């Protein structure tokens, strides 16, 4: 990785190496080569973050260009995910390669949602290593992301790059839908050593499956209702769905990973933020209801805003809690049980709490 970082500082070498790397997965059928490729690409995508303290980071300088080249391989990775499972005792189980391919898609698409400038080194040095679990969106409705014209500023190039990445993510929404469908259909193991015969299904991880279903429905809805249109000059105009997808997928992709070594260190931070966001939304909705009762249109708009945003955080909470193992569930119930109850009961989501309670006892039975 250090060698690639050094080589990528030369533009011509970068173009040749990056395109050659993409050609490997597109042309080679060997599953061992493909597995190594997925591991390497995940490392490249994450390397820029871990090496943030170095201003001469070659990968940082060409990060967006690298993403555009590597994202051309998402269709191939999707094919591997769809065709890389085996049937055992009536259950469809993934191979090590299909797990790696799924995580590679998640890493590539999550990288497209990054909001900070890749070359802005000084502002990023002060950030913690848990940047992925910070800066949660507080509102996720189309009106919030807006479709207003952006005034020319000194950051117009940065805005243009960010928009280009968001549009690239939107171009792959069909692949995201397919990926989530496969995550629902395949019995991915819940054991950290995913090659062990531990079955993952709606019976063993119902809460995570519930979250997957909600994410799948959401992806299909925004694809149908939003998108991109053409202005009079023929250029692409960002619509609400493009920005909405970028805002939400950053967190969904992080919570859908099948092999994530950082999860055990991050899940409490994520849980704190999701619960705090839900509590804040509850308080704000009560405040808005009091002050907007005289304006039915405004009240309806605010209600829709609150519902859309609460759904997002509840989906995240479902995916997060559904990934916990027996010991993590026990600690979470002990430390956060009352907070979770207060967050969920006002949402009129009794099924969510029932599933969580069921999942807790199921895991105690499985691991105890």
Q: What is the pLDDT of residues 295-325, one digit of tens each?
A: 545 444 545 566 778 889 888 988 998 888 8
The answer for residues whose C-beta is within 8 angstroms of residue 207's C-beta and 6 or more apart is 318, 321, 322, 352, 355, 356, 359
Q: Assess if residue 7 is contained within a domain.
A: no
Q: Assess if residue 345 is contained within a domain.
A: yes
Q: Assess if residue 361 is contained within a domain.
A: yes
- The pLDDT assigned to 156 comes to 75
d(CA 67, CA 69): 5
Q: Assess if residue 284 is contained within a domain.
A: yes
Dump the DSSP string for 144-169: HH--PPPPP-TTHHHHHHHHHHHHHH
pLDDT in tens, the chain (368 residues): 677 766 777 678 778 888 998 999 988 888 999 999 999 999 888 875 555 544 446 667 788 888 999 999 999 999 999 887 777 776 667 889 999 999 999 999 999 998 654 444 334 444 444 545 555 554 554 443 444 444 555 567 777 788 889 999 999 999 999 999 998 876 544 434 443 333 344 555 778 888 899 999 999 999 988 765 555 555 555 577 888 999 999 999 999 998 888 888 888 999 999 988 888 887 776 544 443 444 545 444 545 566 778 889 888 988 998 888 878 888 888 888 888 877 776 655 544 554 555 455 545 544 33
Q: What is the pLDDT of residues 103-128, one digit of tens each?
A: 999 999 999 998 654 444 334 444 44
d(CA 208, CA 202): 8
DSSP, res 85:
E
d(CA 201, CA 151): 49
Q: Assess if residue 138 is contained within a domain.
A: no
Residue 229 main-chain phi, psi, to 5 deg: -125, 170
Structure tokens at 135: 């800066």
User: C-alpha distances in angstroms, 273 versus 203, 247, 251, 317, 350?
Assistant: 28, 15, 12, 10, 21
d(CA 68, CA 165): 8
- The pLDDT assigned to 337 comes to 81
- The pLDDT assigned to 345 comes to 66
Q: Assess if residue 60 is contained within a domain.
A: no
Domain of residue 358: give its range: 262-368
d(CA 328, CA 314): 19
Structure tokens at 368: 């105890």
Q: Assess if residue 323 is contained within a domain.
A: yes
Query: Quick one: which H or E segment has residue 94?
Result: strand 91-94
**Distance, CA of 279 to chain centre:** 22
d(CA 106, CA 251): 10
Question: Considering just the CA atoms, what is the radius of gyration of the chain in Å?
Answer: 21
pTM (2 d.p.): 0.78
295: left (phi over 0), alpha (psi -120 to 50) or beta: beta
**Domain tally for the chain?**
1
- The pLDDT assigned to 153 comes to 52
């Amino acid at each position: 990785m250090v060698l690639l970082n050094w080589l990528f500082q030369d533009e011509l070498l970068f173009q040749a190496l990056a395109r050659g790397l993409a050609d490997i997965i597109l042309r080679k059928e060997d599953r061992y080569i493909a597995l190594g490729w997925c591991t390497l690409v995940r490392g490249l995508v994450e390397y820029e973050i871990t090496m943030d303290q170095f201003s001469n980071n070659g990968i940082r300088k060409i990060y967006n260009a690298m993403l555009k080249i590597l994202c051309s391989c998402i269709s191939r990775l999707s094919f591997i995910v769809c065709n890389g499972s085996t049937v055992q005792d009536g259950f469809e189980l993934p191979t090590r390669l299909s797990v790696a391919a799924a995580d590679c898609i998640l890493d590539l698409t999550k990288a497209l949602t990054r909001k900070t400038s890749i070359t802005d080194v000084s502002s990023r040095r002060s950030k913690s290593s848990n940047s992925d679990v910070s800066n949660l969106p507080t509102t996720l409705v189309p009106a919030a992301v807006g479709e207003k014209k952006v005034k020319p500023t000194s950051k117009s190039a940065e805005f243009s790059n960010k928009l280009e990445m968001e549009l690239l993510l939107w171009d792959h929404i069909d692949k995201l839908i397919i990926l989530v469908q496969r995550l629902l259909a395949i019995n991915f193991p819940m054991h950290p050593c995913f090659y062990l015969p531990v079955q993952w299904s709606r019976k063993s991880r119902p809460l995570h499956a519930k979250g997957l279903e909600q994410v799948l429905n959401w992806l299909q809805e925004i694809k149908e209702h939003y998108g991109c249109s053409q202005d009079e000059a023929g250029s692409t105009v960002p619509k609400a769905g493009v920005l909405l997808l970028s805002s939400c997928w950053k967190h969904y992709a992080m919570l859908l990973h099948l092999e994530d070594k950082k999860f055990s260190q991050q899940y409490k931070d994520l849980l704190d933020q999701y619960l705090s966001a839900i509590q804040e939304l509850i308080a704000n909705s009560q405040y808005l209801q009091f002050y907007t009762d005289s304006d039915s249109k405004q009240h309806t708009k605010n209600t829709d805003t609150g519902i859309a945003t609460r759904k997002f955080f509840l989906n995240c909470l479902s995916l997060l809690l559904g990934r916990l193992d027996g010991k993590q569930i026990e600690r979470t119930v002990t430390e956060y049980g009352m907070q979770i109850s207060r967050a969920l009961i006002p949402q009129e989501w009794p099924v969510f709490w029932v599933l969580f309670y069921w999942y807790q006892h199921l895991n105690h039975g499985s691991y105890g």
